[in-house]
Amino acid sequence: MRRTFQIMLTAFIMLAVQMYPAAAQSGTLGLADGFSTFNTSKFNVQLVKDSQTLYSLTPAGSSFNFIPTDMMTSRQANGNYHLGESRSRKVGSTAWVSGDSSTSRKKLTPATVSGSTLAAANLAPTLPTTSLLNITRRWVSVSSGVQLLFDVTNSQTTAVEIGSLGAPLEFNNIFTGRSAAQTNTLCSLFDPYIGQDAGFVQVTPLLGTLPPLVVTPVGKSPLEGWRFLPESTAATPFYQSQTFEGIY
Ligand SMILES: *[C@@H]1O[C@H](CO)[C@@H](O)[C@H](O)[C@H]1NC(C)=O
Ligand SMILES: *[C@@H]1O[C@H](CO)[C@@H](O)[C@H](O)[C@H]1NC(C)=O
Domain count, the chain: 1
Q: Residue 242 domain-assigned?
A: no
Q: Residue 227 domain-assigned?
A: no
Total residue length of the chain: 248
Classify residue 45 by burial, with Cβ atoms within 10 Å: 0-12, 13-18, 19+.
buried
What are the residue ranges in the chain where pLDDT is below 70? 1-25, 92-93, 242-246
Q: Residue 101 domain-assigned?
A: yes
151 lines ligand 2 (CB under 6 A): yes
CA of 148 to the centre of ligand 1 (A): 21
Contact 45, 118 (CB under 8 A): yes
Q: What is the CATH number of the domain that holds 36?
A: 2.70.98
Ligand 1, atom 14, lies closest to the CA of 39
Q: What is the pLDDT of residues 79-119, one digit of tens each?
A: 999 998 887 777 766 788 888 999 999 999 999 999 999 99
Classify residue 145 by burial, with Cβ atoms within 10 Å: 0-12, 13-18, 19+.
buried
pTM attached to this predicted model:
0.86
Give the E-state strand segments of the chain in sequence order. Answer: 12-15, 18-19, 35-39, 43-48, 54-59, 87-91, 96-100, 117-122, 133-142, 145-154, 161-166, 188-193, 200-205, 213-217
**pLDDT of res. 158:** 84
DSSP reduced 3-state for 45 = strand
Q: Residue 234 domain-assigned?
A: no
CA of 161 to the centre of ligand 1 (A): 43
Q: Residue 244 domain-assigned?
A: no
CA of 43 to the centre of ligand 2 (A): 30
40 lines ligand 2 (CB under 6 A): no
**pLDDT of res. 239:** 83
**Ligand 1 interacting residues, C-beta cut-off 6 A:** 37, 39, 44
Q: Residue 192 domain-assigned?
A: yes
**Domain with 125 in it:** 2-217
* Nearest ligand 2 atom, CA 136: 5
Q: Residue 226 domain-assigned?
A: no
Q: Residue 245 domain-assigned?
A: no
